[in-house]
Structure 1
Amino acid sequence: MAEYTHPEMLVDTEWVAAHLDDPTVRIVESDEDILLYDVGHIANAIKVDWQSELQDQVVRDYVNKDAFGKLIGGKGIGNDHTLVFYGDRNNWWACYALWVFKMYGHQDCRIMNGGRQKWIDEGRPFTTDRPNHAAVTYTASGPGLSIRAFREETLEHSNARKPLIDVRSPGEYSGELTHMADYPQEGALRGGHIPGAKNVPWGQAVAPDGTFKSADELKGLYEDGAGLSSGDEVVAYCRIGERSSHTWFVLTYLLGYPNVRNYDGSWTEWGNLVGVPIEKDV
């Protein structure tokens, strides 16, 4: 992992196994399948439910910083803890949770390389016991919007022909599909992509074992393949911002791009908006 720009943002499963009882560390599981944690999880791991906890249940937005601080402090996470995120689907939702924590100012956030499946593949144990961390006072900051793009900003970005990375499947990008294959309920009225966007499906950034590809492989994917360069101002998007948070993590921390934003409104917003342009390849 040393070849990455910020190798400190990743830990391996061995590191996690050695720090299960470290009082300065909190392990956080965030899954697409919100029932997996109850089936079994890494000892002392704390569940963060992206659907019911991180997102406001009335407004399509995140909980505000006071609610975030109350939520996280209530789980026994303090401002000074080293947080290690992991989850299913090659850490897709783990990266999403990390992105939200970064918006609210948590300093030391890391990803367990390979995620939940690598832990399983190595035969490491799970437990159904929940940790009993005492609640603490957590003070959130922000939100830091330098890593988040909104629809008007994304439209300006597209009109200026600045780099956009669409991390969805080729079928979604082309317009053949109006929704992700497994989520027909989260489709849009129109299929296609934001004008000027290049298609680099998020899953291409990981190796077969779920770990991130090497820095050289990632540069080949995003720079040789999609034409990016490290000084670019980049906006990534997908369907609701979850897959693109994975790409945001790769570009920001593994390749060291200083100006990457995640458009979390993504295609469920853009594909239903009145008055914005789209492109199709079908």
Structure 2
Amino acid sequence: MNMSRSTFLVDADWVVDHGQDPDVVLVEVDEDTAQYDINHIDGAVRIDWKRDLQDPVRRDFIDKRSFEKLLSAKGIANSDTVILYGGNNNWFAAYAYWYFKLYGHRDVRLLDGGRKKWELDGRPLSSDDVSRPGTNYVASEPVSGIRAHRDEVIEQIGGSSIVDVRSPDEFSGKILAPAHYPQEQPQVAGHIPTAVNVPWSKTAADDGTFLGEDDLRALYADAGLDEVNDIIVYCRIGERSAHSWFVLHELLGYSEVRNYDGSWVEYGSLVGVPVEK
């Protein structure tokens, strides 16, 4: 793993060597929020993307104070190195990573390949309960420039590059959500006009690890994004687009990439906005 990637990614050997260090915190974030109860990497705490990261009343992510309370309760300090991982090529782990970046955490990384690579390698898992002493975590105000809101997206149609990271069937309007999800949330199917479709899943190898830099650059170059900086990514609820945000902003170094976390559940329910199929 080269030095630039080591800023954002660790591999399984690194976790074996450093996972028990006092200033390293492993955190599992899964689509299936019950998976952690079955087993997890030894020493990892859980963040539940539904219960912990979403506002309990309105559709939005938790505010600064709630993020501080969450990390304090999980035993995470501002000075800790946080290693996030999960199933399905780290899609919800990448979503949590984006939250950590939004609230200014100094050192947060993904375990390359997540649970999939860990299990394929036959590495051990534990079902032991994990708790850490509480902390007094202090988050920064939300970092500007990495989140896009609906009005900004609408204004940028035909301007900034908009990347739809959903499956081709979702992009074309054949389905509203991934095939294994309910299909009732957005009111219409389709995509934002002028968006290009670069499915998030194409950025990962069969073992769940990220493709190499040359392959990733070629993937986005084929979509006409090789010399573009101002990019908005979206999916259905913002988790897959957070994964693509990680690839573009962190691994490839695109300077202006924003995640539209309202994504198609919001946009597809708006009245009077343009839609293409």
- Tell me the TM-score range normalised by the shorter chain: over 0.9
Asked if structure 2 preserves the Cα contact closer than 8 Å seen for 1:180 and 1:187, the reply is no
Deviations 1:127-173 (A, max 9, x none): 11122310010001111231110000111111x42201100010110
1:201-212 equivalence runs, <5 A: 201-212=199-210
Cα distance, 1:49–1:183 mapped onto 2, change above 3 Å: same
Alpha-carbon distance between aligned partners in 2 of 1:61 and 1:266, rounded to the nearest angstrom: 12
Bigger shift: residues 72-81 or 178-187: 178-187
Asked if structure 1 preserves the Cα contact closer than 8 Å seen for 2:31 and 2:92, the reply is yes
Cα deviation for residue 178 of structure 1 reads 2.3
Counterpart position of 1:95: 94
Cα deviation for residue 227 of structure 1 reads 0.6
Alpha-carbon distance between aligned partners in 2 of 1:252 and 1:272, rounded to the nearest angstrom: 28
Cα distance, 1:32–1:186 mapped onto 2, change above 3 Å: farther
Secondary structure of the corresponding residue to residue 7 of structure 2: helix
Cα deviation for residue 105 of structure 1 reads 0.9
Deviations 1:78-119 (A, max 9, x none): 000000000000000000000011111101010100000111
Q: Match for 1:275 among 269, 272, 276? A: 272
Asked if structure 1 preserves the Cα contact closer than 8 Å seen for 2:176 and 2:183, the reply is no
AA aligned to 1:20 is G
Secondary structure of the corresponding residue to residue 131 of structure 2: coil
Cα deviation for residue 5 of structure 1 reads 4.8
Asked if structure 2 preserves the Cα contact closer than 8 Å seen for 1:7 and 1:254, the reply is no
Cα distance, 1:197–1:5 mapped onto 2, change above 3 Å: farther
Alpha-carbon distance between aligned partners in 1 of 2:176 and 2:237, rounded to the nearest angstrom: 13
Counterpart position of 1:240: 237
Alpha-carbon distance between aligned partners in 1 of 2:50 and 2:27, rounded to the nearest angstrom: 15
Secondary structure of the corresponding residue to residue 83 of structure 1: strand
**Number of residue equivalences:** 277
Alpha-carbon distance between aligned partners in 2 of 1:36 and 1:148, rounded to the nearest angstrom: 29
Matching of residue 137 in structure 1 with residue 120 in structure 2? no
Deviations 1:197-226 (A, max 9, x none): 000110000011110001110011011x11
Structure 1 length as normaliser, TM-score? 0.95
Cα deviation for residue 26 of structure 1 reads 0.4
Secondary structure of the corresponding residue to residue 236 of structure 2: coil
Alpha-carbon distance between aligned partners in 1 of 2:177 and 2:201, rounded to the nearest angstrom: 17
Cα deviation for residue 231 of structure 1 reads 4.6
Secondary structure of the corresponding residue to residue 145 of structure 1: coil
Secondary structure of the corresponding residue to residue 239 of structure 1: coil
Alpha-carbon distance between aligned partners in 1 of 2:156 and 2:186, rounded to the nearest angstrom: 21
Matching of residue 125 in structure 1 with residue 124 in structure 2? yes
Cα distance, 1:60–1:37 mapped onto 2, change above 3 Å: same
AA aligned to 1:180 is P
Counterpart position of 2:261: 264
AA aligned to 1:30 is V
Please identify runs of 4+ aligned residues in structure 1 that moved more than 6 A: none
Bigger shift: residues 174-183 or 24-33: 174-183
AA aligned to 2:275 is I
Alpha-carbon distance between aligned partners in 2 of 1:183 and 1:242, rounded to the nearest angstrom: 14
Alpha-carbon distance between aligned partners in 2 of 1:165 and 1:143, rounded to the nearest angstrom: 23
Structure 2 length as normaliser, TM-score? 0.97
Alpha-carbon distance between aligned partners in 1 of 2:165 and 2:151, rounded to the nearest angstrom: 20
- Gaps in structure 2 of 5+ consecutive residues: none
Cα distance, 1:186–1:206 mapped onto 2, change above 3 Å: farther
RMSD: 1.3
Deviations 1:219-258 (A, max 9, x none): 11011x1111355200000000010000000001111001
Counterpart position of 1:38: 37
